[in-house]
């Protein structure tokens, strides 16, 4: 009698008998949990006190199912060195990792691996970056590939670089208006976080941001509904977020009709 054993008890197989021999065939649909699984074929008859057996260990190739990216430190600011760490789930054979940015392959560091689930290997690859402000919002991609199976997965991260507000240079820092006419000065500041608070001052006096005064500030916009000669002078706009502040001076000139 010949049968197969896997994790006990005996499992169903197809036996074939000839005049001088008996064979058994076992068909399975392999999955990742079968990697490194042991199957034992046992043969015995009335003349054998101890069954004869032979053991086979299965090797099942499988690709990584997931990958994730970690950022250290978690808060990025210009001037620091950051590390992106790509961790790929278990794969057999081990997955090959690569970093990409805007279509360019980048050189990773500290390529490491350790034992993973189902007898596979978990792989990691780091990427060192010197953080600058203009890297805010850039997308970095980690690709994990099982080359034997020609299967890949990609995971991406959008870099959040924190920085203080910066004003876009206005067309002019001196603006002119006509007495009795309205005048608006519009500025633009960017920063991360994008929640920016603005204050306008003239000669150290804060300009109202609500109500219906003749001169009012609305965020980065200064509105004067009806210019007077006394409105001439230097107006200062300050932009503030959690990372710091920036200031810009605008000179207003008033011309008579």
pLDDT in tens, 43-84: 777 767 777 878 888 899 999 999 999 999 999 999 999 999
Distance CA 198, CA 204 (A): 15
Whether 92 and 109 map to the same domain: the answer is yes
pTM recorded for the entire structure = 0.80
Q: Is residue 62 part of a domain?
A: no
pLDDT < 70 stretches in the chain? 1-15, 19, 47
What pLDDT shows up at residue 184?
A: 96
Domain total for the chain? Answer: 3
Q: For residue 143, what is the domain's CATH number?
A: 2.60.40.10
Whether 49 and 19 map to the same domain: the answer is yes
Distance CA 43, CA 23 (A): 9
What pLDDT shows up at residue 5?
A: 53
Look at residues 158, 193, 211 and tell me which one is the last residue of a structural domain: 158
**Structure tokens, 34:** 């079968």
**Structure tokens, 213:** 């005064």
Q: Is residue 12 part of a domain?
A: yes
Whether 152 and 181 map to the same domain: the answer is no
Domain that holds residue 20: 2-57
What pLDDT shows up at residue 1?
A: 47
**Structure tokens, 165:** 């507000």
What pLDDT shows up at residue 18?
A: 72
Burial class (CB within 10 angstroms; exposed 0-12, middle 13-18, buried 19+) of 167? middle
Q: How far is residue 231 from each of residues 23, 103, 203, measured CA to CA in Å?
A: 104, 53, 11
| SS3 label, residue 88 | strand
Distance CA 66, CA 49 (A): 50
Taking alpha carbons only, the member of 64, 248, 106, 232 closest to residue 171 is 248
Look at residues 126, 143, 158 and tell me which one is the last residue of a structural domain: 158
């Amino acid at each position: 009698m010949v049968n197969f054993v896997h994790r006990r008890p005996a499992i169903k197989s197809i036996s074939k008998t000839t005049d001088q021999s008996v064979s058994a065939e076992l068909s399975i649909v392999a999955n990742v949990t079968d990697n490194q699984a042991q199957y034992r074929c046992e043969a015995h008859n009335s003349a054998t006190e101890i069954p004869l057996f032979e053991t086979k260990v299965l090797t099942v190739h499988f690709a990584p199912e997931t990958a994730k990216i970690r950022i250290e430190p978690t808060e990025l600011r210009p001037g620091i060195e950051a590390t992106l760490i790509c961790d790929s789930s278990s794969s057999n054979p081990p997955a090959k990792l690569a970093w990409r940015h805007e279509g360019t392959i980048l050189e990773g560091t500290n390529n490491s691996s350790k034992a993973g689930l189902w007898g596979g290997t978990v792989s990691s690859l780091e990427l060192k970056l010197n953080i600058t402000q203009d890297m805010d919002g850039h997308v970095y991609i980690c690709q994990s590939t099982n080359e034997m199976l020609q299967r890949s997965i990609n995971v991406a991260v959008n870099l959040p670089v924190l920085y203080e507000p910066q004003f876009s240079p206005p067309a002019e820092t001196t603006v002119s208006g006509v007495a009795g006419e309205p005048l608006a000065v519009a500025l633009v500041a960017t920063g991360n976080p994008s929640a920016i608070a603005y204050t306008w001052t003239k000669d150290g006096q804060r300009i109202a941001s609500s109500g219906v005064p003749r001169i009012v500030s609305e965020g980065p916009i200064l509105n004067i509904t009806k210019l007077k000669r006394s409105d001439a002078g230097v107006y200062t706009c300050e932009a503030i977020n959690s990372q710091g502040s920036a200031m810009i001076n605008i000179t207003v000139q008033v011309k008579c009709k």
